[in-house]
Structure 1
């Protein structure tokens, strides 16, 4: 005989992210270029607000139209709060630049995706990311996970914002190679840098399966961006 659910279990189930799309296969890379995210501009998608950008001192900007810090004279940068963190040993939250097959920014800006890693030392672990950026150089169904020290890639605003080396911290693509290098990072970026070597086990571009889910409030609270019609959980 099935026992009735207790109020506590019912309340917990109500807070779990709801699956929105079918599961697909994808790939990951990593980056941290300090640039204003593409989803930080108005009109990209049907959302409450563009994602939050920050000034050079990492203070939230009220002007959503501020010029990207990756451009000459730009004042808007990626906020340090968009670093990843561990929820527990098997689940992490974070942010990503994405490019999805048969889709565009209107569909993915500020949307959240639950990824299950299918290769490497994190195989079986899960991560929920909110899309803050679009990767122009990414392949299809590709998540470029934001993590301090992950490599600046095509653009580098980290030198202007944080005084990083001219090509960013470590290699342009891939970034630093050891946890000890995180010690030299700005205090606000250290935990996100160390996350890569702790929870993420320094995984090198693991494959994933993924599905769209309603966003956790812990993520939307950091970006200020909620897709219209969704209620973060």
Structure 2
């Protein structure tokens, strides 16, 4: 129950919010006529602009979000005071002794955003823009209005007329759980191993219909039919195992199904973007932090408030979180993964995936080779375009997806943005199962020649998973085994 003083304060705050507006100023134009970016903080609801180690927005329902509207904490009363504290979701103090009546107010503009993915948001004097990784720009209602050049930051309409310019990578990123977002689940699946959301050139709205966009070549393990001459199934027990990525224990962990946990069927995709994991942020981890690292993913670091390398910060994915096997446990693997953003607080949960021997888009010898193999995953991340039943496995060389924080790693080219090295090999070898597998092994060795650990992780896809793209599975929630807890 709220303290009486806080109730009174919020009532006064409502009056303030109703008659106050932001100090934000419109952007001006540069000498070349292109509008200069002016950071304009907006919200669909009235909010207090709170200044701490970064920008926060506080609302009359006592929630606190970041600039993009993702909840990171709460407003809490200070007994016998009209001031308040700002705390994170775990109750840790972010800002102390705040006088809300003297705090700048952002007047709600009632604008909601229809998105199908994480998206950069820019609002300046020229308009309100949502910028997708595909470079398509829409208005808040999802209507396509132009194209963004991520190198120059220039946004143009479809006739080539310049609309505005911004440092796109520094913009707030709206997510499915942001306060003012109406998330529309896309039909396209993974942010890492499938075709990203596509856009119709004959329509003004975002679409995922395959008839509206024909990629120049098939992605990942799509509907292309592999040749049958070299696709005889191999026994899963005869598939080569990765000794370099094994943990020596001599026996499989006893995996226990979690009572009342989730279960179902789905498919596995893959990614490795080097970004700081979702579960390494204080507002998401709930005290159960996933590891984060500096020094090319090698040095663990507990400065949880540090930013991600994908947005200019120092923190990134630890290479110790590569997938692995255990000696003496040949039919079970272990990995970390992203789950749907709609699952909410899934940090540190574990699932057992049992592969069915089929692929989501096509089935070849590589899929059949992993039939009945089990992969135990632990959640460290979420994906706005990851669907229910889909697990996006962290595998070096699996594709960087929307963000690429791997440029400083000293690795070779990471392959297709969505699908990585395996997608490269599938295309190069015309989806011939045997040739694709050989190609993947060669690429892992070549691309990660300077990083033995990343090479081990890449070879997990070639060896334990036999180069199977988007394999189908049945899944069940399980108690997390210690071998994953130790690496989480």
Asked if these proteins are the same fold (TM beyond 0.5), I'd say yes
| Structure with greater Cα Rg | 2
Cα separation, 2, equivalents of 1:56 and 1:153: 22
Aligned residue number for residue 410 of structure 2: 163
Q: TM-score, normalised by structure 2?
A: 0.40
User: Among residues 74, 78, 81, which one is paired with 2:313 in the alignment?
Assistant: 74
Aligned residue number for residue 59 of structure 1: 299
Cα separation, 1, equivalents of 2:463 and 2:262: 30
Instruction: Give the SS at the match of 1:43.
Output: helix
Aligned residue number for residue 458 of structure 2: 193
Aligned residue number for residue 337 of structure 2: 96
User: Among residues 370, 374, 379, which one is paired with 1:126 in the alignment?
Assistant: 374
| CA deviation profile, 1:188-228 (whole Å, cap 9, x unmatched) | 211111111111100110111111111111111112xxxxx
Give structure 2 stretches of 5+ with no counterpart.
1-250, 359-366, 426-439
| CA deviation profile, 1:41-69 (whole Å, cap 9, x unmatched) | 1232545x310100033200120111011
Aligned residue number for residue 255 of structure 2: 17
2:352 maps to 1:114? yes
2:450 maps to 1:209? no
Cα separation, 2, equivalents of 1:216 and 1:64: 25
Residue-pair matches, total: 203
Structure with bigger RCO (C-alpha 8 Å, 6+ apart) = 1
User: In the TM superposition, what is the alpha-carbon distance from 1:78 to its structure 2 partner?
Assistant: 0.5
Q: TM-score, normalised by structure 1?
A: 0.81
Answer whether contact 1:98 1:133 (CA < 8 A) is retained. yes
Answer whether contact 1:54 1:79 (CA < 8 A) is retained. yes
2:386 maps to 1:145? no
Aligned residue number for residue 5 of structure 1: none
Answer whether contact 1:116 1:125 (CA < 8 A) is retained. yes
Considering only aligned residues, what root-mean-square deviation do their CA atoms show, in Å? Answer: 2.0
Cα separation, 2, equivalents of 1:26 and 1:42: 30
Cα separation, 1, equivalents of 2:322 and 2:333: 11
Instruction: Give the SS at the match of 2:415.
Output: coil
Aligned residue number for residue 36 of structure 1: 276
The aligned runs of 1:177-188 (5 Å cut-off) are 177=425, 178-184=440-446, 185=448, 186-188=451-453
Q: 1:41 to 1:197 in 2, by over 3 A?
A: same
Larger fraction in strand: 2
Cα separation, 2, equivalents of 1:44 and 1:31: 20
2:420 maps to 1:175? yes
Answer whether contact 1:52 1:64 (CA < 8 A) is retained. no
Instruction: Give the SS at the match of 2:309.
Output: coil
Aligned residue number for residue 219 of structure 1: 484
Cα separation, 2, equivalents of 1:189 and 1:46: 29
User: In the TM superposition, what is the alpha-carbon distance from 1:26 to its structure 2 partner?
Assistant: 1.5
Give structure 1 stretches of 5+ with no counterpart.
1-11, 224-233
